[in-house]
Amino acid sequence: MDQSARIFVAGARGLVGGAIVRQLRAKGFTNLLTPGRAEVDLTDRAALDAYLAAHKPQFVFDAAAKVGGIQANNQFPGDFIRENLLIQTNLIDASYRAGVEKFVFLGSSCIYPKFAPQPMQEEHLLTGILEPTNSAYAIAKIAGIEMINAYRRQFGFKGISLMPTNLYGPGDNYDLNNSHVLPALIRKFHEAKLAGAPEVVIWGTGTPRREFLHCDDLADAAIFLMQTYDSSEIINVGVGDDIPIGELALLVKEITGFQGRLVQDTSKPDGTPRKLLDVSRLTALGWKPTLSLRDGITQTYAAYQASLAAAA
């Protein structure tokens, strides 16, 4: 993938896609295709075929997906499975038929069983039941993995599947109705600080453990693997370390400067007890993340404040 290669980043307006675009530009790649939904709706196969025929990308990063936290996944499972199946099926098949040289499919750590051994190895896929609150999304992503491998076996299509851990960073979704835990905590503590509120309520017991990777680190890993990895075996992308949600909340409280107390609503679901990825396969290839969780959250909070100021 030389620096003049035509590279299509699907989902370039999202958290992950935006980070991939930033990293590609920082590495000197200049011929980037970054259409928004108004330019090409990825659920519209005819529109996607026309776009690929017109622009002829050589490499594709599939960072397009309908995503959300526990509440959104639990409330709208039909939307999550339908939209994700449509997007990834269209992208994979259309890219193959358009002659794309290599394709990166981004899955999710939620593909692994709810009670998978920890840390979760790539071999644990399909060895147990899924977490019910996001099983529709997980099954869509598992279907994408299988489609990539089926096209590799039957057609020789060079596609690889990466399984990122929980992601965060600039450009995240801070809508409390459908965001993930970290941006939700940032917004809750920020707004409570401004309002002088006495407390912030978080969901669950605080005991589930989660691993968090900054989106810029994921983007760097995705570009690295596009250039160095070519296997039907999925590969985990994470930091190899995790933190209890209760401790995460205290860290966000400290970084945002909220002075009140933390209250846990134990009537709300915890989700999967632990989700830690085994990243030894990726580490053996020579890649490691660069941002610590504290530094990453500090940068993300600064970006969130800047976005609020710009919108004011």
- The response to whether 167 counts as a known ligand-binding position is yes
Q: What's the CA gap between 212 and 246, in Å, rounded?
A: 14
- The response to whether 164 counts as a known ligand-binding position is yes
Mean pLDDT of the chain: 95
- The response to whether 292 counts as a known ligand-binding position is no
Find the angle CA(35)-CA(82)-CA(233) to the nearest 5 degrees.
80
Confidence category of residue 40, pLDDT binned at 50, 70, 90 = very high
Superfamily of domain 7-172+211-242+274-293: NAD(P)-binding Rossmann-like Domain (3.40.50.720)
pLDDT at residue 260 in the model: 97
pLDDT reading at 281 higher than 90: yes
Q: Catalytic amino acids?
A: 137
DSSP class per residue in 17-78: HHHHHHHHHHTT---EE---TTT--TT-HHHHHHHHHHH--SEEEE-------HHHHHH-HH
- The response to whether 270 counts as a known ligand-binding position is yes
- The response to whether 6 counts as a known ligand-binding position is no
- The response to whether 107 counts as a known ligand-binding position is yes
Confidence category of residue 268, pLDDT binned at 50, 70, 90 = confident
Q: What is the pLDDT of residues 226-239, one digit of tens each?
A: 999 999 999 999 99
Count other C-beta atoms under 10 Å from residue 133's C-beta.
22
How, if at all, do strands 209-210 and 243-244 pair?
A: antiparallel
**Which of 63-72, 77-86, 242-251, 291-300 comes out lowest in average pLDDT?**
63-72
- Domain boundaries, given as residue ranges, for the chain: 7-172+211-242+274-293
Name the 3-class secondary structure at 164.
Answer: strand
- The response to whether 13 counts as a known ligand-binding position is yes
Q: What's the CA gap between 168 and 159, in Å, rounded?
A: 25
Q: What's the CA gap between 236 and 19, in Å, rounded?
A: 18
Integer CA distances (angstroms), 136 to 45, 74, 127, 203, 312, in order = 22, 9, 17, 22, 37
160 sits in which H/E element: strand 159-164
